[in-house]
Chain A
Amino acid sequence: MSDCVRFEPTIQAYIAGDLHDTELGPLLAHCRNCKDCRQLLELHRDLVGLASRAPEPHGADFDALHARVLGEVDRQARSSRSDRVESPARAIPWYLPAGNFTRAVAALAAAVLLFVVGLSTGRVLSERGVRPGNGSATNGNGGVTNRLIKAINADATSNLELADVEDSRFTYSNVSFRRLDGDRVGLDFDVTTHVQLVEPVRSEIVGEILVHSLLNPSTTGARLKAMSYAAGAIEPKVQEALIFAMRRDESLAVRIKALTILSDQLVDPDVERAVLVTLRDDESVQMRLLALDYLAAQSVDGDRIRETIERSERPGDEALMVRLAEYENQL
């Protein structure tokens, strides 16, 4: 037993994960003869095992959770704002004389607030136009979302007439149900639908969707496809999206494609600066070598390139310096 007391700090360090290798041998030797201490180490091992089997939620699960929390926060904020509409009038004691300045100011403030709230409520109601019980959205895009809910309701109603077929234009994901009071259910879900349009090449909607498809976390293939189209339609907004993709996209293929497209725009100082940053910061040596090739091909000042590489202190700097020296010798 006295041995156990002696080994207590060692076991504490072992459990805390701070045990030095040299102390492990004597501890294990003690545990061979001491059931109590051996059980403690086994329990430690079981707990490590238990924790390692704990499920790891997917990013999409957390995305859905964020949406629910933000929706609820938004709902609470709106409800507290509407509560505050009444508060100025209540804040003035009833016994103040009718002509009192404070009371007049409060009444005026309340009137203005009521007018603003009335105006916005009117707008929301006119945007919604859905019958009671059809639900209301909490994602901040009330009008758009409620038009969508109306369309989903129309599909659901027409599906009621079909015996065993579900025919919908919409796809639902990240669905969760919450039972609420009063025989109601809270629904959270993402909904997607497919749209086909023919639009002029330079239209705003084409630019908007192109920029979004360059930046959003769609598949790598979809981002590359959008880039192929972007090569023929470089506008300031698209160029900005391409620079972002070149700097930040997680896929090397997408970053290389963005760099290749932007290499034709190197006369633009913004693009030149972004390519220099890529040369300095990108985690891929291949990407940095390509950036160097494009900069050298555009005759960007060799000293500036050298200075940029010297500032990076990343693996691959040596290869870049060799390639730069080759270019300088050619010149």
Chain B
Amino acid sequence: MSREKDLEFSDRELASEVRSDSSVAFEQLMRRYERLVYRVAYGFTGNDEHAMDITQETFLKVHARLDSWRREGDLKNWIARIAANEAMNWNRSLRRHPTCELDEAAFLQPDDPPQEDFLLERETHDALQRSLSSLNPRHRLAVVLRYFRGMSTREISGVLECSEGTTRNILFRSLRRLRSVMTDSEEALP
């Protein structure tokens, strides 16, 4: 396995090949980070189709801006930040041009067996997703990377370009904020 690892190109080598117009290298780079980008996009949108579209846009941006990547920085972190920006732009544009999403619950037949679990799960899912949008972009990115990508505080601090202590603090404050948003919305129920 370590031999296989040795044969892999480093990010820097891949980036240099991509700059020389190698589509093979760019495909390799996409393969390396597709799931990271998808997860960030999904964490920001909660919708798999949107996440795939954002992934596509992110890699187009990565290709176009690779010259501006600072080589001393970590390519993975740089890509994660682009993905987060793309996802936020996407959400902003959705707010400006809202679309109608299919509601799975609407397709449940009256005779179907009880779907309380499904509906309850979906309700929690939707409530959490809504409350995530109350976080500022930096805090939301930290939460997305922690939960949707399973990153350690050390890795997250690389993306956010801050210390591990600050990252821990951001995560803690984000969860407190989410808790208060969710509690408020529950209390607002009739």
Q: Verify if B74 is at the interface (C-beta below 8 Å from A).
A: no
Contact present for B52 and A65 (CB under 8 Å)? yes
Q: Verify if B26 is at the interface (C-beta below 8 Å from A).
A: yes
User: B102 to nearest A CB, angstroms?
Assistant: 15
User: A81 to nearest B CB, angstroms?
Assistant: 11
Report B140-190 residues with CB < 8 Å from chain A CB.
Answer: 143, 146-148, 150, 152-153, 167-169, 171-172, 175-176, 178-179, 182-183
Main SS at interface, chain A: helix
- Tally of contact residues, B, Cβ under 8 A: 43
Known contacts A65-B56, A73-B26, A43 near B182 by CB under 8 Å: yes
Q: Verify if B13 is at the interface (C-beta below 8 Å from A).
A: no
Contact present for B27 and A66 (CB under 8 Å)? yes
Q: Verify if B90 is at the interface (C-beta below 8 Å from A).
A: no
Contact present for A65 and B55 (CB under 8 Å)? yes
Distance, CA A73 to CA B66, complexed state (A)? 13
Output the nearest chain B residue to A77 by Cβ-Cβ distance.
Answer: B21
Interface string of A24-66 (1 = CB under 8 A from B): 0000000000001001100110111011011101000110011
Contact present for A17 and B152 (CB under 8 Å)? yes
Known contacts A18-B153, A74-B23, A281 near B179 by CB under 8 Å: no
Contact present for B171 and A16 (CB under 8 Å)? yes
Contact present for A70 and B179 (CB under 8 Å)? no
When distances are taken between beta carbons in the complex, the residues of chain B under 8 Å from A69 are: 26, 30, 56, 59-60, 63
Distance, CA A149 to CA B42, complexed state (A)? 35
User: B129 to nearest A CB, angstroms?
Assistant: 8
- Tally of contact residues, A, Cβ under 8 A: 35
When distances are taken between beta carbons in the complex, the residues of chain A under 8 Å from B42 are: 54-55
Q: Verify if A72 is at the interface (C-beta below 8 Å from B).
A: yes
Known contacts A43-B182, A54-B42, A12 near B168 by CB under 8 Å: yes
Report B6-45 residues with CB < 8 Å from chain A CB.
Answer: 21, 23, 26-27, 30-31, 34, 38-39, 42-43
Q: Verify if B65 is at the interface (C-beta below 8 Å from A).
A: no
Q: Verify if A175 is at the interface (C-beta below 8 Å from B).
A: no
Q: Verify if B67 is at the interface (C-beta below 8 Å from A).
A: no
Main SS at interface, chain B: helix
User: A177 to nearest B CB, angstroms?
Assistant: 12
Contact present for A39 and B183 (CB under 8 Å)? yes
Interface string of A54-98 (1 = CB under 8 A from B): 110100011001101110111011000000000000000000000
When distances are taken between beta carbons in the complex, the residues of chain A under 8 Å from B124 are: 46, 50
Q: Verify if B92 is at the interface (C-beta below 8 Å from A).
A: no
User: A58 to nearest B CB, angstroms?
Assistant: 11
Q: Verify if A13 is at the interface (C-beta below 8 Å from B).
A: yes
Known contacts A62-B31, A70-B26, A47 near B39 by CB under 8 Å: no
Interface string of B99-124 (1 = CB under 8 A from A): 00000000000000000000001001
Distance, CA A191 to CA B118, complexed state (A)? 37
- The contact of B179 among A43, A55, A57, A66, by CB within 8 Å, is A43
Distance, CA A14 to CA B98, complexed state (A)? 38
Q: Verify if A208 is at the interface (C-beta below 8 Å from B).
A: no
Q: Verify if A8 is at the interface (C-beta below 8 Å from B).
A: yes
User: B33 to nearest A CB, angstroms?
Assistant: 11
When distances are taken between beta carbons in the complex, the residues of chain A under 8 Å from B128 are: 46-47, 50
Output the nearest chain B residue to A8 by Cβ-Cβ distance.
Answer: B172
User: B42 to nearest A CB, angstroms?
Assistant: 5
Distance, CA A46 to CA B169, complexed state (A)? 19
Q: Verify if B138 is at the interface (C-beta below 8 Å from A).
A: no
Q: Verify if A291 is at the interface (C-beta below 8 Å from B).
A: no
Q: Verify if A144 is at the interface (C-beta below 8 Å from B).
A: no
When distances are taken between beta carbons in the complex, the residues of chain B under 8 Å from A12 are: 168-169, 171-172
Distance, CA A72 to CA B53, complexed state (A)? 13
- The contact of A65 among B21, B34, B171, B179, by CB within 8 Å, is B34
User: A23 to nearest B CB, angstroms?
Assistant: 14
Q: Verify if B71 is at the interface (C-beta below 8 Å from A).
A: no
Distance, CA A54 to CA B23, complexed state (A)? 30
Q: A17-B152, A36-B179, A48-B147 are in contact. List 16 more A-B contacts (CB 8 A).
A: A15-B168, A15-B171, A18-B153, A43-B178, A43-B182, A50-B125, A50-B147, A53-B121, A54-B42, A54-B148, A65-B30, A66-B27, A66-B34, A69-B59, A70-B27, A281-B3
Residues of B at the A interface (CB closer than 8 Å) are 3, 21, 23, 26-27, 30-31, 34, 38-39, 42-43, 48, 52, 55-56, 59-60, 63-64, 121, 124-125, 128-129, 143, 146-148, 150, 152-153, 167-169, 171-172, 175-176, 178-179, 182-183
Residues of A at the B interface (CB closer than 8 Å) are 8, 11-13, 15-18, 36, 39-40, 43-44, 46-48, 50-51, 53-55, 57, 61-62, 65-66, 68-70, 72-74, 76-77, 281
